[in-house]
């Protein structure tokens, strides 16, 4: 299994499949690169080099106590990309990973990144503040932290209901998909899982979105119960210069089923333009 060591000595796991133009995929919290397995194969099958990493503290990467913040995540990604000497690069991020790739592209990706894709992404800012009154109150994120600390295993099991929209009438998400979320969640280091809540909820990506000078495809389900579309994609599209927004009716936060099938075809179409 390939590993890369960052400048602060953190081992980052990644998978690298296929040949052609490179595409980096960044996962959501508290998951790992395994969340992108279908897309990695799809991209490789369609002539791309697909690379997906486990964020520090997550999956098979080092179980870090420090550096669990968005600036460090973006720096880790930049160092991985530089080590692989990737150019003419597309970056794709889901949820927290959407924030990571937006910050990377805006602050580190000049001359390398040509396209950005986000799905259910956290930018521009999730937390309710005086300047962002439509955001979610801090109590929501305090509840997540409390759940992670008190019984992370049970918390991740329960989180799958809202994550995949399994609590909605007619939901077709499988028990296997929910168990896979739990399996990946149980690999994350507790300190990393706890600190990442602050990273994904309190990081303000407004200026990163404004700084992007490459095309960005913003995908979001209108029934996303984790990252509400009104606080995220509908605001992000107003901040970027070369943005395309697609809203997926009835789609949840988790990428699965019919939503995944449609999104994957949209990803291929956007990359081909």
**Residue 120 DSSP label:** S
Give DSSP secondary structure letters for 160-224. HHHHTTTTSTT----HHHHHHHHHHHTTS-HHHHHHHHHHHHH---HHHHHH--S-EEEEEETT-
**Residue 136 DSSP label:** B
Cα gap 263→253, rounded to integer Å: 12
Confirm whether 224 is a catalytic residue.
yes
Confirm whether 253 is a catalytic residue.
yes
**Active-site option among 224, 231, 236, 256:** 224
Strands annotated E in the chain: 3-5, 11-17, 21-26, 48-53, 89-94, 113-119, 216-221, 243-248
**Active-site option among 26, 32, 33, 95:** 95
Confirm whether 34 is a catalytic residue.
no
For the annotated catalytic residues, the residue numbers are 95, 224, 253
């Amino acid at each position: 299994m390939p590993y890369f060591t960052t400048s602060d000595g953190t081992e980052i796991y990644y998978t690298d499949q296929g040949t052609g133009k490179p595409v980096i995929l960044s996962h959501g919290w508290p998951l790992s690169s395994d969340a992108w397995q279908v897309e990695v194969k799809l991209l490789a099958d369609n002539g791309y080099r697909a690379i997906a990493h486990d964020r520090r503290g997550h999956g098979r990467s080092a179980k870090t106590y420090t550096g669990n913040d968005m600036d460090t995540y973006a720096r880790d990604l930049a160092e991985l990309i530089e080590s692989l000497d990737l150019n003419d690069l597309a970056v794709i991020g889901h949820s927290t990973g959407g924030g990571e790739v937006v910050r990377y592209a805006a602050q580190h990706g000049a001359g390398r990144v040509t396209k950005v894709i986000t799905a259910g992404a956290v930018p521009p800012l999730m937390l309710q503040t005086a300047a962002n009154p439509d955001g979610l109150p801090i109590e929501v994120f305090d509840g997540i932290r409390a759940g992670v600390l008190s019984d992370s295993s049970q918390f991740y099991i329960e989180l799958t209901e809202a994550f995949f929209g399994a609590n909605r009438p007619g939901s077709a998400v499988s028990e296997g998909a929910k168990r896979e979320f739990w399996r990946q969640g149980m690999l994350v280091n507790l300190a990393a899982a706890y600190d990442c809540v602050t990273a994904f909820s309190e990081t303000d990506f407004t200026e990163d979105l404004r700084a992007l000078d490459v095309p960005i495809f913003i995908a979001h389900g209108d029934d996303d119960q984790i990252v509400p579309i009104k606080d995220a994609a509908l605001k992000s599209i107003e901040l970027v210069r070369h943005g395309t927004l697609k809203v997926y009716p009835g789609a949840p936060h988790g990428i699965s089923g019919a939503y995944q099938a449609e999104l994957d075809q949209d990803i291929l179409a956007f990359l081909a333009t």
